[in-house]
Amino acid sequence: MRFRLTPPGAPIFFVSLILAVAAVATLYTHVPLAGHYVGTHRFWVMAAAYAALLAGVLFEGL
């Protein structure tokens, strides 16, 4: 079985980028908007960023 991989669309890429930047930003600074949640669950926010990017690559049209 071969997977047909496609580049992710711009919306999925930007959602993934925003989640990853928010997770990394909480390491170095205080983020006022949702900073407490992202700082507390930093690993899961980064995992969600990569999962969104993976879904964009695996499923065509995302």
- Does any domain span residue 20? yes
What's the domain count of the chain? 1
Domain that holds residue 44: 10-58
Measured in whole angstroms, the distance separating CA 44 from the mean position of its chain's CA atoms is 10
| pLDDT recorded at residue 15 | 95
Does residue 62 have a pLDDT over 80? no
Contact 51/1 with Cβ under 8 angstroms? Answer: no
- Does any domain span residue 24? yes
pTM score above 0.85? no
pLDDT tens track for 3-59: 788 899 999 999 999 999 999 988 888 877 777 888 889 999 999 999 999 999 998
